[in-house]
């Protein structure tokens, strides 16, 4: 079955890099996503990666995918206080399956 | 970028009443919308998939008679929580797919959520 796991909390100092990890179980996942949720708000898509890619970089964000180990990570360089939020990893099967399976989210706290 | 709105953003109601939540795609047409429920410190749980002009597809364990979904137009889906009870208190989030989006990444655009408190 589908299952997405994340650690629940991460605390970093402002200016340091943050690395949020995610593991998934379904090897047929086609797309993997990272969403950001600020308090009381909906989800904002940060980035996504196709399953045949190993890495994707977008400004301060770097996504690494290890398909063999079913491990996904999100690195935020030069973490700022505005990055404090809950980060959700999600997977979809693609090919017309629009459903997303989310992890429980990692709460990132940035210490000034 | 694509914008999805929800109304109301929060609602407090008495037990036994019905509450309607609207989800609108503001600058695109959405043939498919999704309704999620999020409990505090929990992940989003998909409740149902709403397709324009047809009946919604509910996930296992979601009562279709309690959570009525209507997707009457390409820009609007509604979720009605009927005879609400305190255990229905939650954060309800909708998302929508752009009908023109043929990209493989099949991105969903999320609304800001509606917080429901049933007293």
Q: Which residue has the higher pLDDT, B111 or B107?
A: B111
Written as tens digits, the pLDDT of chain A (112 aa) is: 458 899 889 999 999 999 999 998 877 777 889 999 988 788 888 998 988 889 999 999 999 999 999 999 999 999 999 999 999 999 887 655 667 889 999 999 999 9
pLDDT tens for each residue of B56-98: 999 999 999 999 999 888 999 999 999 999 999 999 999 998 8
Residues 6+ apart with CB under 8 A from A85: A36, A37, A38, A39, A107, A108
The CA-based angle A44-A48-A54, given to 5 degrees, is 150
CB contacts < 8 Å between A and B, how many? Answer: 57
Q: B32: which chain A residues are within 8 Å (Cβ-Cβ)?
A: 98
Q: Are B3 and B106 in contact (CB under 8 A)?
A: no
Q: B108: which chain A residues are within 8 Å (Cβ-Cβ)?
A: 45, 98, 100
Q: Does position B9 have pLDDT exceeding 80, yes or no?
A: yes
Q: A99 and B107 in contact by Cβ < 8 A?
A: no
* CB-count exposure of residue A59 (10 Å: 0-12, 13-18, 19+): exposed
Identify the band that residue B102 occupies on the pLDDT scale cut at 50, 70 and 90: low
């Amino acid at each position: 079955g589908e299952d997405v796991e994340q650690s629940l909390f991460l605390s970093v100092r402002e200016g340091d890099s943050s690395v949020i990890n995610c593991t998934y179980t379904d090897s047929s996942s086609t797309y993997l996503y990272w969403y950001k949720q600020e308090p009381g708000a909906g989800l904002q898509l940060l980035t996504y990666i196709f399953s045949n890619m190993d890495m994707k970089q977008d400004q301060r964000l770097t996504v690494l995918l290890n398909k063999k180990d079913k491990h996904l990570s999100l690195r935020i360089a030069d973490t700022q206080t505005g990055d404090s939020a809950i980060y959700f990893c999600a997977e979809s099967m693609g090919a017309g399956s629009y459903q997303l399976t989310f992890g429980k989210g990692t709460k990132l706290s940035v210490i000034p | 970028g694509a914008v999805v709105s929800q109304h109301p953003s929060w609602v407090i109601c008495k037990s036994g009443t019905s509450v309607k939540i609207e989800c609108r795609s503001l600058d695109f047409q959405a043939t498919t919308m999704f309704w999620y429920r999020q409990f505090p410190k929990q992940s989003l749980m998909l409740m149902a998939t709403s397709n324009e002009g047809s009946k919604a597809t509910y996930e296992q364990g979601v009562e279709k008679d309690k959570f009525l979904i209507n997707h009457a137009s390409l820009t609007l889906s509604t979720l009605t929580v009927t005879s609400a009870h305190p255990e229905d208190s939650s954060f309800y989030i909708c998302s929508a797919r752009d009908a023109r989006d043929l990209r493989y990444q099949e991105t969903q655009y999320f609304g800001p959520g509606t917080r429901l408190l049933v007293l």
